[in-house]
Amino acid sequence: MTVAKDTLYIGVNDRQIDLFEGMYPVPDGMAYNSYVILDDKIAVMDTVDAGFKDEWLEKLEKALNGKTPDYLIVQHMEPDHSANIQAFVATYPTAKIVASKNAFMMMKNYFGDDFSAKQIPVSDGDTLSLGEHTLRFVSAPMVHWPEVVTTYDEYTKTLFSADAFGKFGTLDTDEDWACEARRYYFGIVGKYGVQVQNLLKKVSALNIRTICPLHGPILSENLKYYLDLYQTWSSYGVESDGVAIFYTSVYGNTKKAVEMLAGKLQVNGQKVVVTDLARSDMSEAVEDAFRYGKIVLATTTYNGDIFPFMRTFLHSLVERNFQNRTVAFIENGSWAPFATRTMLSMLEKCKNLSFTNATVKIVSTLNDDSKAQILALADELS
């Protein structure tokens, strides 16, 4: 597949994987993207996951059509992109490796060899001429590892963006980009919003026609749409109007409260998304928490704490720098309801959160008082 002049796609689709990074369900698999630029000098952009070594090398050989690559450019050292560096070196021993200094240190950790005789270290603003194509390196530390560099081809105006602008799913998955890109972003990159903002500022000066990420489809149309979404996500802005409700319920009484609140909000004209944390993919829940501007947390006091799925969910938000949201609480407890207090303490580290005046306190089951509190909360959130 040609992605730009002299630039071919040589990545692979993984349809066997069920959990990416051992935790994110990927029902539509994953793409591990790699590219080759064919000029007077030939550059290969990253490798792929170890399980696809032979397929990748065959694709590379076919793309080369008898030629020999001059460079392997390593933008990111996670094994789904770097696992075949040794196989590449063994197959093409005259090629040089282009990477950041941090990447070469990581190669020593992974392979016991930093390939010192082949190293071409690069940093922010360095260039590499292939002939017509000049590659300009744009450092992207902590997007989302410290060694990351992205690469801009000045000739074709192509940005090879490492893990930025990636998404879950194989390349031939027919689905809306934003949903699985959002889940990918907030699950994997979301903690590093400041660093993503820094990268966006750097690339804003570039005339980009095509974005080639290491996961997901090549982006070549309506780039403003993708860049604007990344601007919103990395600045922790609100993407969609509405209220996202996240709950756990032991005997169904907290669930009844949530259903009552959701119904009232809908009557008030609000879009509502409801997630049972015990029965939902946690990464989908995290995605929705960062998508909407108002969230409701509803749970029980449990073992002197809060219900485990809610604790896991809140921990996931806090470690990803959750901020700039309105938060409301519903708590339930038969003899010592203090879930709201616990949830508030977990969110103390979060920036720019506002909390509703109305809260809901249920003692075992709904009664007139707690129903009135739900109606007041619905009005405040509307």
Pairing state of beta strands 360-362 and 323-332? parallel
Question: Which CATH architecture does the domain made up of 243-381 adopt?
Answer: 3-Layer(aba) Sandwich (3.40)
Fold of 2-234: Metallo-beta-lactamase; Chain A (3.60.15)
Read off the pLDDT of residues 72-92 as tens digits, 9 standing for 90 and up.
Answer: 999 999 999 999 999 999 999
Compute the distance between CA of residue 348 and CA of residue 355 in angstroms, rounded to an integer: 12
Residue 340 confidence (pLDDT): 94
Q: What is the pTM of this model?
A: 0.93
- Report the pLDDT value the prediction gives residue 357, as an integer from 0 to 100: 96
Q: Quickly list H helices, the chain.
A: 53-64, 79-82, 85-91, 101-111, 177-184, 193-203, 223-234, 253-267, 282-291, 308-319, 339-346, 368-381
Contact 278, 309 (CB under 8 A): yes
pLDDT-above-90 percentage for the chain: 97
Residue 184 has pLDDT above 90, yes or no: yes
DSSP assignment letter at 192? G
Which two structure tokens, joined as six digits, stand for 14? 């993984």
- Say yes or no to pLDDT of 51 above 90: yes
Mean pLDDT in residue range 239-258: 96
Cβ 63 vs Cβ 10: under 8 Å: yes
- 306: which residues sit within 8 A by CB, 6+ positions away? 299, 300, 314, 339, 342, 343
Residue 189 pLDDT > 90: yes
- Residue 66 pLDDT exceeds 90: yes
Whole-number pLDDT of residue 337: 81
Query: Which regions of the chain carry the CATH code 3.40.50.360?
Result: 243-381
Mean pLDDT, the chain, rounded, equals: 96
- What mean pLDDT comes out for the span 176-187? 96
- Note the pLDDT of residue 336: 78
Per-residue pLDDT band at 210 (split at 50, 70, 90): very high
Q: What percent of the chain is predicted at pLDDT more than 70?
A: 100
Q: What is the pLDDT of residue 326?
A: 98
Domain with CATH 3.60.15.10 in the chain: 2-234
pLDDT digits (tens, 9 = 90+) for 305-362: 899 999 999 999 999 999 999 999 999 988 878 899 999 999 999 999 999 999 999 9
pLDDT attached to residue 288: 97
What value does the mean pLDDT take over residues 262-271?
Answer: 97
In the predicted structure, residue 181 carries a pLDDT above the cut 90: yes
SS3 content of the chain, % helix, strand, coil (to 5): 35, 25, 35
Q: What are phi and psi for residue 320, nearest 5 degrees?
A: -105, 20
Query: Does residue 40 have a pLDDT over 90?
Result: yes
